[in-house]
Amino acid sequence: MTATVAHHEVESVFETLERGFGERISPAYRQALRKATIPDRLLVSRDGPQVVGTAASEPARMTLPGEVVAPVAAVVGVAVLPTHRRQGRLRSMMRYQLDDLRARGEDLAVLTSSEARIYQRFGYGPATLASTYRLEKRDLSVLVPERIDLSGMAVRFVERDEAERRFPPLLSAHQPSRSGEVSRLTLGWEDVLGTDTEEEQKDRFFVECTEAGEPVGYAIYRIGRDPGTSGRVLRLVELCALSDPAYLALWSYLLEVDLVGTLVTGHRPTDEPIRWLLSDPRRMVPLRTGEHTYVRLVEVAASLAARRYFAEGELTIAVADRFCQWNTGRYHLSFGGDGTAAVERLPLEGAADLAADVSVLASCYLGGLRPSALAQIGLVEAASPRALATADRLFLGPVPPFSTTSF
């Protein structure tokens, strides 16, 4: 039912994606997809000669707690035709793909999902949250603290070709600073910058922030009509800043854009700090908060050893993994003062401090969820309150994990 794509099937894959997601792919983007395709990572599900399902993966890097940047497999382009749902095709592709990732030695996988509850049955857990915000920006400003000097900051417009050259190094430099950040995939910049066509560039704008002439951040936005009013809206596609002054300079600029009454963000961190410097913090209204990236521990032991932890101690975790049985077992973790953990696989039978499904462990993995909170609703079983307190100290990160990129 599932196999890697044949050369002559690539166009059929694009048609499956269009029909599965209900959105046509522009000729320019289709051409970019052809160039970016990695044939031995592109899977298809067939009904006779017809391609009716597809799933792919691409090598990427993700920042783990402790500013560890690790290789991951980014799962993309997962779709099954509406005419072929509930036939086990998605399950078959997930089975093939996870077996393949394990054979490649890729211990972690990450994806974003168009709907909730699709991927937990395959061991993925929601691991980062994101929020969108609406700001009525008339007479709204950033009250910059005296201790932050913006005198050396400048914001300037750049054209798309310059943004394509100058923005990627800035995002790459930002990535290690926050747990959960995933490197941008091959076609990711096409998504945020738009293809180089008049139609896609007519409402897009790119600004770069510099300090003493050196680039330290950027913002990408679009301007259009606000369907809820007769005015215009600025839609923030992406903002990246390498310093606190750059962050404040870019937000100050966005709130000063003329002839725009409303600013609506794309996905942003749930702890977006700019709210506390607005002249009226109540004008920043959350529109939606929800899960953003999902994590899969393909190899539990290697994944647990890869990240850093925030306390010393020991913990034994019993992991249930129905979809990848090779992970089911007990894992003893010994945490040193340098944040590293020694992970030992134990026999299946025996005592454990915590017990959880692999998808629940994945949700805690990036440091955004407290195991004790999940224990309150029955997703984590603990041998004692002390074990839960230890797990909270070890796993919980200093800031919520977040990924600037989508894929």
Domains and CATH numbers, the chain: 2-106 (3.40.630.30), 131-291 (3.40.630.30), 298-395 (3.30.1050.10)
Please choose, from the candidates 127, 139, 46, the residue with its C-alpha nearest in 3D space to the C-alpha of residue 84.
Answer: 46
Residue of 29, 119, 221, 331 marked catalytic: 119
SS3 193: helix
End-to-end alpha carbon distance in the chain: 25
Interval 309-340: pLDDT, tens: 998 889 999 999 999 999 999 999 999 889 99
Q: How far is CA 330 from CA 173, 339, 368, 370, in A?
A: 37, 21, 23, 20
Output the CA torsion 96→120→361→303 (10° steps). Answer: 20
State the pTM of this model: 0.94
* Distant-in-sequence, close-in-space partners of 318: CB < 8 Å, separation ≥ 6: 329, 330, 352, 354, 355, 356
Instruction: Report the pLDDT value the prediction gives residue 337, as an integer from 0 to 100.
Output: 85
At residue 26, the pLDDT reads 87
Question: What pLDDT score does 231 carry?
Answer: 86
pLDDT tens for each residue of 265-279: 999 999 999 999 999
**Do you know the residue count of the chain?**
407
- Residue of 14, 124, 253, 407 with catalytic role: 407
407 flagged as catalytic: yes
Strands (E), 114-203: 125-126, 129-136, 153-158
Strands (DSSP E) contained in 276-385 are 284-291, 293-297, 313-320, 329-335, 341-346, 354-357, 380-382
- Say what the pLDDT of residue 116 is: 87
Pairing of strands 50-64, 42-47: antiparallel
Residue found by looking up tokens 């690539």 in the block: 10
The pLDDT value given to residue 92: 98
| Angle, vertex CA 56, rays to CA 50 and CA 59, nearest 5 | 160
DSSP state of 227: T
Angle at which helix 10-21 crosses helix 27-36, to 10 degrees, equals 120
Bridge partners of 225, per DSSP, are 232
Please give the order of strands across the beta sheet that includes 125-126: 2-4, 42-47, 50-64, 68-80, 108-112, 293-297, 125-126
- The predicted pLDDT at position 166 comes to 98
Mean pLDDT by 10 residues, the chain (407 residues): 91 94 89 89 96 97 97 97 96 98 98 93 98 96 96 97 98 97 94 91 97 97 85 96 98 97 97 98 97 98 97 95 98 93 95 98 97 97 96 94 97
